[in-house]
Amino acid sequence: MSRLTAAERDALPDSAFALPGRRYPIPDATHARDALARASEMLHRGDLTQQDYDTVVARAHAVLENE
């Protein structure tokens, strides 16, 4: 998996994150795939709402379609 340093993450615009609060960075296809996996895991654990999950899925798929 591609790793973001703290400086790289801080330099990303808010639009490079799937959720407000700079959660689930999706600057590229690798991170978008990881966001999908993590969001699914968090949804099944009860730590993510269905609405937030749907947002992550939509935003991640948009990134994947452009790659």
Q: How high is the pLDDT of residue 1?
A: 55
- Residue range 41-46: average pLDDT? 98
Phi, psi of 43 (to 5 degrees): -65, -45
> Is 22:42 a contact under the CB 8 Å cutoff?
no
CA angle centred on 42, ends 39 and 45, rounded to 5°: 150
- All residues at 6 or more sequence positions from 15 whose CB lies less than 8 Å from its CB, including other chains: none
Percentage of the chain with pLDDT > 90? 94
* Alpha-helical segments (H) within the chain: 6-11, 29-45, 50-65
Q: How high is the pLDDT of residue 21?
A: 95
